Amino acid sequence: MPKDFYKSSVTDKRSLASKIQLNYKDQEDFISSFFLGLKICFFLLAIVSLVKIGYTSKVRITRLREIKESYLYEKLRFKALSSRFDDLFSFGGEQRFMKDQDQMISRDIIRVIWR
């Protein structure tokens, strides 16, 4: 009986060792798969974030370009109006102003100029 006991315990130890080894391999495969999935998720998150940042930057640059164009237009308009206003106070500016006003009044209207 001691010999059978020794054989069965050796066999049990071997089967237990092989089960532990298989279990360890399954755990290792599961952990590897889990970390691969995690890497894929982070990679997709990075790609989505870059796309969103790119789109936001494009929108911001477009808005800034529109603001710049509007500012330059208003600046040009301000320079033209300020030069016209300055010309009004120069020598003969009143007469030039009246000539400009004549062009604004349609021909069918009676014009009265007070002096």
Q: What is the pLDDT of residues 29-78, one digit of tens each?
A: 999 999 999 999 999 999 999 999 999 999 999 999 999 999 999 999 99
Side chain identity at 78, as an amino acid letter?
A: F
Q: Is the pLDDT of residue 106 over 80?
A: no
Which position has the higher pLDDT, 89 or 64?
64
How much is the average pLDDT of 88-111?
A: 68
Cα separation, 69 vs 62, whole angstroms: 11
Burial 47-81 (b: 16+ CB within 10 A, else e): eeeeeeeeeeeeeeeeeeeeeeeeeeeeeeeeeee
Side chain identity at 106, as an amino acid letter?
A: S
Q: What number of H helices and E strands is found in the chain?
A: 2, 0
